[in-house]
C-alpha cells in the first residue's frame, strides 16, 4: 500500500505500464515460440524485429536481446 499521496497517484500509471509491458512480453514470447516451432529463414527478420523492439522499449535487457538473436540465427544455420 502506498504511504505518500504522490505514491498513491502513481498507482494507476504503474498499472497501465504493467499491462503494456505484459502485452509486449507476451508478443515477444509468441514470436519466439512460433519461430522455434517452425524455423525458417524468412521468419528471422520478424523475430529479430520483435526482439529489437522489446530491447528498445526496455522490456528486456540489450544483452539478452543480443543473446536471443544469436540463438535465433544459430537455429537456422
The predicted-structure confidence for 56-65, as pLDDT tens digits, reads as follows: 999 999 999 9
Mean pLDDT of 21-48: 92
Residue with cell 509491458: 21
Residue 16 pLDDT: 96
Alpha carbon distances (Å) from 47 to 12, 14, 31, 35, 68: 32, 28, 6, 7, 10
CA-wise closest residue to 24 among 64, 51, 62, 61 = 51
Domain boundaries, the chain: 41-77
Residue 70 pLDDT: 96
Alpha carbon distances (Å) from 31 to 6, 41, 45, 58: 38, 14, 11, 17
- Tell me the pLDDT band of 41, cut-offs 50, 70 and 90: confident
Predicted TM-score (pTM) of the model is: 0.79
Amino acid at each position: 500500500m502506498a504511504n505518500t499521496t504522490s505514491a498513491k497517484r502513481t498507482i494507476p500509471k504503474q498499472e497501465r505500464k504493467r499491462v503494456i509491458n505484459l502485452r509486449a512480453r507476451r508478443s515477444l514470447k509468441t514470436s519466439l515460440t512460433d519461430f522455434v516451432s517452425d524455423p525458417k529463414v524468412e521468419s528471422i527478420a520478424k523475430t529479430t524485429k520483435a526482439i529489437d523492439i522489446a530491447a528498445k522499449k526496455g522490456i528486456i535487457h540489450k544483452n539478452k536481446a543480443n543473446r536471443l538473436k544469436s540463438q535465433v540465427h544459430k537455429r537456422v544455420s
